[in-house]
Amino acid sequence: MTPGAVNRWVTDQRQNGRSEDGIASRLVAVKVFSHKYLYRELELTTVDLLRKVPRITPPDRPAQVLTDEEREQVLACFDQPTFEDTRNRSLVSVYMATGLRFKEVLDLTLANLDKVHGDIVTIGKGRRERRARLSPRALKYVREYLRERPRDGESDQLWLQADGSPLGYWGGMSIMRRLRERSGIARLHWHLFRHGFAQAALGKGAHPGMVQEMLGYSTSAMTRKYLGQAKQTEAARQMPAYAPI
């Protein structure tokens, strides 16, 4: 447990092709172990052995988002007149229209949803109450699902399976796995819809502070990251208007 040994370990990880984000995360864990456990709790050393080893700050990478065409491609996958396709299109549209986290949508109950106006109340990180409102298109899909939602089940959870039992975590993961196969979009995952909401809102001129509230971020760091991408996209779009030729 010396700075030299840790630096060699970091170099080995890079040579083995490990991602910079993963290396940074593992280095933090080792530094915390050295400082809080060996030094503070066990008092095996008189100083923090790794205090001079700097943390790694990975370069910012643009958050992946779906293009407008890819979003339509995803929704078009639900083209069968089955309960599952009707439910899954409704479920996906809620993620697209609100930017809510996976569990925030999955745990919705009928009482959480205003079927007239599309208002949603859910519990987010830190057990904080969060509010959202569906777009007209998403609300249309949700109403279509509600007409087919099993009524003889005992659960008040919004998302049910065909037999009336609640749709659980692994059921949601299975929906995404099949959606990747049907859409042909390999990078698709539930959080991608959250990224897409933030990017779309900023691209349409939403104030960063409002986007932060919409997504339930406790700090503005993530919103600033999305804002930088939105500015770059808009700047590129405006280039032809200012080009000298």
Residue with tokens 């400082």: 35
Q: Which of 9-23, 45-59, 162-176, 206-220 has the highest mean pLDDT?
A: 162-176
Q: Which residue among 59, 81, 101 closes a domain?
A: 59
Residue with tokens 């600033």: 224
pLDDT at residue 112 greater than cutoff 70: yes
Element (H, E) at 235: helix 221-242
Q: How sure is the predictor about 61, in pLDDT bands with cuts at 50, 70 and 90? A: low
Greater pLDDT, 107 or 207: 107
Residue with tokens 């409002």: 210
pLDDT value, residue 222: 65
Distance in angstroms (rounded) separating the CA atoms of residues 157 and 81: 23
- The DSSP-derived string for 50-112 is TTTSPPP-PPP-PPP---HHHHHHHHHT--SSSHHHHHHHHHHHHHHHH---HHHHHT-BGGG
Rounded mean pLDDT, 134-154: 92
Same domain, 86 and 44: no
Rounded mean pLDDT, 144-166: 91
pTM of this structure: 0.72
- CA of residue 78 relative to chain centroid, distance: 22
Same domain, 5 and 109: no
164: CATH: 1.10.443.10
Q: Are 223 and 217 in contact (CB under 8 A)?
A: yes
pLDDT value, residue 58: 75
3 state DSSP class of 16? coil
Same domain, 100 and 219: yes
**113 phi and psi angles, rounded to 5 deg:** -115, 130
Least confident of 158-172, 173-187, 196-210: 196-210
Same domain, 165 and 226: yes
Domain that includes residue 126, residue range? 68-231
Same domain, 55 and 72: no
Q: How sure is the predictor about 207, in pLDDT bands with cuts at 50, 70 and 90? A: confident
Residue with tokens 């089955």: 82
The per-residue pLDDT of the chain, averaged, comes to 88
Structural domains in the chain (count): 2
pLDDT at residue 180 greater than cutoff 70: yes
Distance in angstroms (rounded) separating the CA atoms of residues 57 and 235: 27
Same domain, 91 and 148: yes
Rounded mean pLDDT, 67-78: 94
pLDDT value, residue 218: 66
Rounded mean pLDDT, 101-120: 93
pLDDT value, residue 142: 97
